[in-house]
Amino acid sequence: MGQILAIDYGKARCGIAATDDMQIIASGLDTVETKVVLEFLKKYSIENKVDEMVVGQPVDLKGNMSEVETDILKFIENFKKEFPNIPVHRFDERFTSKMASFFISQSGKSKKQRQEKALIDKVSATIILQNFLEQKAR
């Protein structure tokens, strides 16, 4: 069994999370610049078996897609060309940034660390992945 990866895709950066090989626990992996995220995933997949990919789906409270959705669809298309055997799932990412900020604030990090956007993106990806795992288990 391989890992499941999750991406909190953004215009500037992408938070990335991964499961363990048993697909039980989601952990923050890294935050990378969006322009190099595909290269990061290529290198990562050489060293790790990746079974599935989850990409956050940015929708507002009314169910409307965010403007970054066009970029996300382009990324998914490129990902599928590079990794045709890895299924890609979408998962609602509403409130993940707010939840990430809350969890970080509860962790005892300094105010400067709590405001670090890269950390928020990585934790957001972890939340997306953990929620995906919980839904998959049902």
Query: What pLDDT band is residue 27 in, cutting at 50, 70 and 90?
Result: very high
pTM: 0.84
Q: What pLDDT digit, counting tens, does each position of 48-95 carry? A: 999 999 999 887 667 777 788 999 999 999 999 999 999 999 988 765
Query: What pLDDT band is residue 125 in, cutting at 50, 70 and 90?
Result: very high
Pick the closest to residue 89 from 63, 57, 122, 55 (CA basis).
55
pLDDT of residue 48: 97
Burial of 122 (0-12, 13-18, 19+ CB in 10 A): buried
Distance between CA atoms of residues 91 and 125, nearest Å:
11
Residue 69 CB coordination number (10 Å): 15
Distance between CA atoms of residues 80 and 102, nearest Å:
34
Structure tokens belonging to residue 51: 């079974």
Residue 29 DSSP label: E
pLDDT of residue 119: 75
Q: What pLDDT digit, counting tens, does each position of 29-58 carry? A: 999 999 999 999 999 999 999 999 999 988
Burial of 91 (0-12, 13-18, 19+ CB in 10 A): middle
For each of the domains in the chain, give its residue range(s) and CATH number, in order of start. Answer: 3-137 (3.30.420.140)
pLDDT of residue 102: 59
pLDDT of residue 114: 41
pLDDT of residue 123: 84
